Amino acid sequence: MSKLAQTFRDLEVYVESFRFQQDIFEISKRWPAAERYALTDQIRRSSRSIGANIAESWAKRRSPAHFLSKLTDADGELQETSHWIHSAAACAHLTEAELRTLDEEASLVGRLLGFMIKKYESFCAQ
């Protein structure tokens, strides 16, 4: 990103995590009703929590420890979402192409989060 972020919505990691959650939402619309609570709700909640934790972390930048904690929570939600993606694939609810796309999106969000976690102090208000 060439300009400094003014809000969490300006962060590339937030933009990519939001796209990821929306892709999961669209794909999960066609999953069987029997999976509504066991899989569909779980993956939707965890994928939405990634961006929510990034947004919350942005509000906590005055405290580096709190900022880092929320980024770490976002990463945990990303890992949970990855688990649900592979569970859906194991149950034949995803095509190989969908699995590959979602894995690539998760990897991108993970790399961006990893960068922020590694350099967290540079994002914090002084």
Q: What is the pLDDT of residue 3?
A: 65
Q: Is the pTM of this model over 0.85?
A: yes
Q: What is the pLDDT of residue 1?
A: 39
Q: What is the pLDDT of residue 4?
A: 80
Query: Could you tell me the CA-to-CA distances from 50 to 22, 33, 72, 76, 77 in Å, in that order?
Result: 12, 25, 10, 8, 6
In this prediction, the residues of the chain whose per-residue pLDDT falls under 70 are 1-3, 125-126
CB 60 within 8 A of CB 70: yes
CATH of span 8-123:
1.20.1440.60
Residue of 48, 60, 57, 54 lying closest to 22 (CA atoms): 48
